Amino acid sequence: YMHLGGPNAWTFLDGTPTTSVSSQQQILGNTLPTWYGGFNNTLKYKGFDLGVNFTFSGGNYIYNGSKAGLRDQRVWNNSVEVLNSWKQAGDVTDIPKAVYGDNISNGSSFLISENVEKGDFLRLQTATLGYRIPGSFGKTGITSMRVYVQVNNAFILTKYTGVDPEISTNGDSNLGSGIERNTIPQGRQFTAGLNLSF
């Protein structure tokens, strides 16, 4: 790291000088999904219909910048997880030692592998439940009537601990995909409606 050692003075995290930059950086995985798809189905029973649309994706890695920020050990509003940071030999934890004034800051400023997670997910993107009202509707000209309720982004199954594995700080950028940092997740939307045929 270029760490508190002055210009061109590389040090280890503890401040001990080193003569050269080590090649400890490594590629942990692709940020672009290697498999993805979706499937849908519509079930009907008497006047009821249920339509579902699932999407899935995986084989990619995401940098959980939100977690990095909450575990950042500079003095500000952190996650309580930082109370379990490494303090002395023998401590077993995945949170590095707190160093006051540290410009490395547990992956908030510089990427560390602790914050890289698999981005696999299965999402119920849309579910719609409808009911076709039987009968005639007099002189209105209406030939059929259907009421329905719909939910978008009903649920997601994932081991990713960030807000949403399908979003990125960098939007749709191919050059900076796979980074999620304090990004707003997809919202859940509920809709009710009426279909009329004349």
Span 60-94, pLDDT tens digits: 999 888 888 887 766 677 788 888 888 888 888 87
Kind and range of the H or E run holding 44: strand 35-45
Residue 79 pLDDT? 81
Question: CA–CA distance from 83 to each of 6, 70, 77, 78, 115 (Å)?
Answer: 30, 12, 12, 9, 17
Residue 5 pLDDT? 45
Cβ atoms of residues 116 and 64 within 8 Å: yes
Residue 107 pLDDT? 57
Regions in the chain scoring below 70 on pLDDT: 1-25, 73-75, 99-110, 169-176
Residue 12 pLDDT? 64
Residue 100 pLDDT? 64
Q: How far apart are CA 93 and CA 73, in angstroms?
A: 15
User: pTM (2 decimals)?
Assistant: 0.74
Place of tokens 């001990």: 16
Residue 95 pLDDT? 78
Q: Which amino acid is at 95?
A: I
By CB atoms closer than 10 A (0-12, 13-18, 19+), residue 140 is exposed
